[in-house]
Amino acid sequence: VSASNLTCSSDTLFEVVQVISPEGIIALVTGAVETPSFHPVDSDSIEFTDAGTGLQSLELSDELGGYTIELFESNSYFYDAAKALDVPADNGITTLDILLAQAHILGNQPFDNGYAAIAADANASGSVSTLDLLWMQQIILQLASDVPGVESWEFVPELNPFIDVNEALQFQGPSLIPS
């Protein structure tokens, strides 16, 4: 694990701090999970998997979105963040989201924010289309609880500026922290 700041999500920021213990050099990975509007996200699972051994370390974020995980610094790790499906499933999705996505599709008001484009791509197809509008409508009306095969939360590095909205839609989450 290298000592650097990375962000993995709607805004998962983590920092690596080196600690020397009897077991060897340990990296304390600390961070906080927040929405793009800086609201803490609790009960988010942060998982690090040792790339060599496959051993997993899992931590849930607390009510302020914070977490700390101990890892051996000399190893490389895959990391993942996940959030259980919200109940009700429409938590955060509104008819305004549908209107904004529709304005983007029609070219009347294109997204200028890569995070908004990722959120509007409900079916994770890599583009915002009328099918995404239909999925959002289904979720708001509680005719569907999720989009099959798509995570309800997308974790994207906060430090990625997404200069181009189309670049944001092609984003594939980071997963390996080299030693």
CA 157/CA 38 separation, integer angstroms: 14
In the chain, % of residues over pLDDT 70: 68
Nearest Cα to Cα of residue 81 among 135, 145, 155: 155
Q: Check residue 148 and give its pLDDT.
A: 81
Per-residue pLDDT tens for 104-123? 999 999 998 888 888 899 89
What is the pLDDT, as a whole number, of residue 99? 95
| Joined tokens for residue 146 | 């999720």
In this predicted model, which residue has the larger pLDDT, 153 or 25?
153
Task: Please give the pLDDT value at position 124.
Answer: 87
Q: Strands 5-7, 44-50: parallel, antiparallel or unpaired by DSSP? A: unpaired
- Between residues 46 and 13, the one the model is more confident about: 46
Q: Report, as an integer, the average pLDDT of 2-18.
A: 39
Higher pLDDT, 135 or 155: 135
